Amino acid sequence: MQTRIPCVLMRGGTSRGPYFLAADLPADAATRDAVLLAAMGSPHQLQVDGIGGGNTLTSKVAIVSPSDHPEADVDYLFAQVSFDAAVVDTRPNCGNMLAGVGPFAIEAGLVEARHPETTVRIRNMNTGALVEALVRTPDGAVTYDGDTAIPGVGGTAAPIQLRFRNVAGGKTGRLFPTGRRTETIQGVPVTLIDCAMPMMILDAAAIGADATATPAAIDADRALLARIEGLRLEAGERMGLGDVRDSVVPKVAFVAASPEATLVARYLTPHAVHKAMAVTGGICLAAAARMAGTVVHAVAAPPTGAVPDVVSIAHPSGVMDVALEVTADDVLWAGSLRTARRLFEGTLLVPARVWAGHPARRAA
């Protein structure tokens, strides 16, 4: 016997995963997580018994529901499902999967479409951040066709503009959780910052790393990754996140100066290198680049003087531009351009024993 769950598989930015209505999943978090593990086929390196892709970028879940927040239309809960361990982490946000929330909410009937564009106001339940997603809806219908290309995704699609508000301190309560813009962990200067995503940022030179190396080359350097993980565990404690060995936050990036962008970065998720750049990670790096006293500011090219400023971040798949407006000690807003595509819609099947006896589910 198996349990049927309505599901839409979508690409959001450079990530992919199932999108669910919260009402179609268990209300109990432990049961919900068991269902998500079964749905994705975890834990297994290839996730052959589920719809996961055997990679952190393709083992993500978006859960959407109507919002009771006065400044939001829908709530979005992100879940990072480990592909090699029985772990579901709902502490981080994912800006790439966020790109699909607006189109999903409109087509699910949670937000009324307008012509030619629809603004979907989203509250991220992981961090409390408020985001506006501008979705192309000609004649009142979502379109995925367009001429916008983003690094890390082949072809083009309709643009989805994301503008993040209340991004500072969403997880820890402070933009710089320790009160310092640069500090030392095990002899290495780091910046611990919470802006859209809690992160530990390092100067690549300080750890003997190459910020232009391929993800495969960095992933193969087990000594480097082990050293970074030791720093990350200490960073988690200092940021008030506790023991983070089973969590994907804080994320990690190391940076260097770039001749083609404001800076070049490699973003860890955190135990493997992202093949492009996470939206939330890009926002955090961009904010740090414009905050004097951080390790990022020290290597970043000076701003052009435009307001709002645009920070360009070179990454393995190209360059990400992040628009933002900052003051000396705060981030007023930050935005990024993404695309998304609805790939599959239907019914997901999970073993009935995972979600036994739920009256709203029909066994197959």
Same domain, 61 and 196: no
Q: Which residue has the tokens 């979005």?
A: 76
Q: 128 pLDDT exceeds 90? A: no
CATH number at residue 6: 3.10.310.10
Q: Which of 20-29, 92-101, 339-348, 351-360 has the lowest mean pLDDT?
A: 351-360
If asked whether residues 283 and 344 sit together in one domain, one would say no
What pLDDT score was predicted for residue 359?
44
Alpha carbon distance 292, 264 (integer Å): 18
In this structure, the answer to whether residues 148 and 224 fall within a common structural domain is: no
- Is residue 93 scored above 80 in pLDDT? yes
- Same domain? For 41 and 99 the reply is yes
**Domain identity same for 193 and 124:** no
Assess if residue 34 is contained within a domain: yes
- The reply to whether 170 falls in a domain is no
Say if residue 178's pLDDT is above 90. Answer: yes
Q: pLDDT tens digits for 30-72?
A: 999 999 999 999 999 999 999 999 999 999 999 999 999 999 9
pLDDT of residue 308: 66
My answer on whether 189 and 220 are in the same domain is: yes
Evaluate whether residue 167 is within a structural domain: no
Question: Pick the residue with more confidence: 151 or 54?
Answer: 54
Q: Is there a single domain that holds both residue 345 and residue 316?
A: no
CA nearest 333: which of 273, 287, 268? 287
**In the chain, how many domains are there?**
2
Asked if residue 164 belongs to a domain, the reply is no
Residue 363 covered by a domain: no
Instruction: Point out which residues pair with 10 in neighbouring strands.
Output: 17, 342
Please check whether residue 339 is in contact with residue 325, taking contact to mean a CB–CB distance below 8 angstroms: no
Statement: residue 363 has pLDDT above 70: no
The two beta strands, 263-268 and 188-194, are unpaired
Omega of the bond leading into 308 within 30 degrees of 0 (cis)? yes
- What type of residue is 111? V
Round to whole Å and give the CA distance between 230 and 266.
18
Half-sphere exposure of 313 (CA within 13 A, CB side): 33
Q: Is residue 173 assigned to a domain?
A: no
Residue 174 placed within a domain: no
Give the pLDDT confidence score for residue 360 in this predicted structure.
Answer: 44
> Has residue 175 been placed in a domain?
no
Average pLDDT, the chain: 94
Tell whether 60 and 140 lie within a shared domain. Answer: yes
Residue 291 to residue 20: CA distance in whole angstroms = 38
Range of the domain at 134: 2-159+340-355
Predicted confidence band at 203 (pLDDT cuts at 50, 70, 90)? very high
- Whether the model pTM is above 0.95: no
* pLDDT of residue 215 exceeding 90: yes
Do 346 and 312 share a structural domain?
A: no
- Average pLDDT for 73-95: 94
Give the CA distances from residue 253 to residues 6, 225, 270, 272, in Å, rounded to whole numbers and listed in that order.
Answer: 36, 12, 9, 11
Q: Both 124 and 205 in a single domain?
A: no
Q: What is the pLDDT of residue 364?
A: 46
Q: Is residue 8 within 8 Å of residue 342, measured between CB atoms?
A: yes
Do 23 and 81 lie in a common domain?
yes
pLDDT higher than 70, residue 357: no
pLDDT of res. 306: 59
* Mean pLDDT, residues 64-81 taken together: 97
pLDDT at 356 over 90: no
* 193 and 326 fall within a common domain: yes
pLDDT at position 152: 87
